[in-house]
Amino acid sequence: TQLLEQSPQFLSIQEGENLTVYCNSSSVFSSLQWYRQEPGEGPVLLVTVVTGGEVKKLKRLTFQFGDARKDSSLHITAAQPGDTGLYLCAGAPPPPKDDYKLSFGAGTTVTVRA
């Protein structure tokens, strides 16, 4: 399994502040998915990035896939308490290793204080 290093592990910020979560690897991924998991629920897919250098925006969330498809970042602008949760990045290996096994990062627990 390819290793995805996610940082930071924990992040506690005040409402209105910005935050960035990073996922890095020495391996190339054919795509990278970002999930958010709230307490008592399963992970919910936020976005999939596929093309190197791709930037996707989802309201206050901005996702970027590195040019070499080895890293990704999630930036949240003006965070709100509803953004609180466990953020997970997950990489899909390129063919011929495309065998349903996502490589998950360790997760970032984000707490936004009101």
Residues that bind another protein (CB under 8 A): 30-31, 33, 35, 40-45, 48, 50, 86, 88, 90, 92-93, 95, 98-102, 104-107, 109
The least distance separating another protein from the CB of residue 88, rounded to whole angstroms, comes to 6
What is the rounded distance in angstroms from the CA atom of residue 55 to the CA atom of residue 73? 10
The least distance separating another protein from the CB of residue 101, rounded to whole angstroms, comes to 6
Residues for the chain: how many in total? 114
Minimum CB distance to another protein smaller for 62 or for 109: 109
The least distance separating another protein from the CB of residue 16, rounded to whole angstroms, comes to 25
In a 13 Å sphere around the CA of 18, the CA atoms on its Cβ side amount to 7
Sort 63 into a burial class: Cβ within 10 Å, 0-12 / 13-18 / 19+: buried
The least distance separating another protein from the CB of residue 92, rounded to whole angstroms, comes to 4
Minimum CB distance to another protein smaller for 49 or for 76: 49
Amino acid (1-letter code) at residue 96: P
What is the rounded distance in angstroms from the CA atom of residue 79 to the CA atom of residue 69? 27
Minimum CB distance to another protein smaller for 12 or for 77: 12
